[in-house]
Amino acid sequence: MSTLVCPPPHFTPVPLDKSYRLMNHGPTVLISAQHAGVSNVMAAAWACVLDYGQATKVTVVLDKSTATRALVEASGRFALQLPCVAQASLTVAVGTHSAKDIPDKWSRFGAQWFTAPGDTLPLVSGCVAWLVCKLIPEPHNQQTYDLFIGQVEAAWADERVFSQGRWHFDGAPQELRTIHHVAGGQFIVAGASVQG
């Protein structure tokens, strides 16, 4: 287990009805979960918004081989968080190696975690957004498609890049931009903003 650290200074609540906008642009995510004192984190490129407003939901694909999936199924909760350019190597590392092979996965790859007030769910330090979700059990989807649905309970973002319900990457440090996996550790970085 890595060191438990304090919430980062720019950790700022995002209203539930704006939280879908954290995920709308298709970022790669880190998924963390905890059960019976064991916590884990993995990476996933296949996460997506499913609904918005007060009913904001997300989907995420969790392979049966992952240790994190078992924690999600046992605890009924998980967090999605958005790694940034500064965490590209960490994202590849936690997405490639399983806690089944490396029990000290968090500390081995230098991941630090913190908790939101009143919660014990591990949130990954250094990310630029966090969504805490309650699992909506759908056994057929989970078994047939490895597809999990989560109801978003609370969300936060790094206020340097997300504020007033929008991403504002253009004026922020390059290393805080979200990353979007293509294949083999290659990511496309969130670029300029355009109005359609």
Among positions 78, 109, 148, 187, the unique one binding its own copies when judged by CB under 8 A? 187
Counting every residue written for the chain, the total comes to 196
Pick 32 or 178: Cβ nearer its own copies: 178
Pick 119 or 138: Cβ nearer its own copies: 138
Pick 49 or 121: Cβ nearer its own copies: 49
**Alpha-carbon distance values, 102 to 63, 75, 106, 196 (Å):** 17, 21, 9, 46
Residues 15-54 that bind its own copies (CB under 8 A): 21, 24-28, 45-51
Residue 44: which of 68, 71, 25, 8 has the closest Cα?
A: 68
Coil vs helix vs strand at 11 = strand
- Residue 185 interacts with its own copies (CB under 8 A)? yes
- The amino acid at residue 136 is I
- Residue 147 interacts with its own copies (CB under 8 A)? yes
Residues 49-78 that bind its own copies (CB under 8 A): 49-51, 57, 59, 61
Pick 112 or 115: Cβ nearer its own copies: 112
Residues 87-126 that bind its own copies (CB under 8 A): 88-92
d(CA 177, CA 190): 6
DSSP 4: B
- Residue 139 interacts with its own copies (CB under 8 A)? no
DSSP 112: -
Residue 129 CB-half CA count within 13 A: 32
Binding site for its own copies (CB under 8 A): 21, 24-28, 45-51, 57, 59, 61, 85, 88-92, 140-141, 145-147, 149, 165-167, 169, 177, 179-183, 185-196
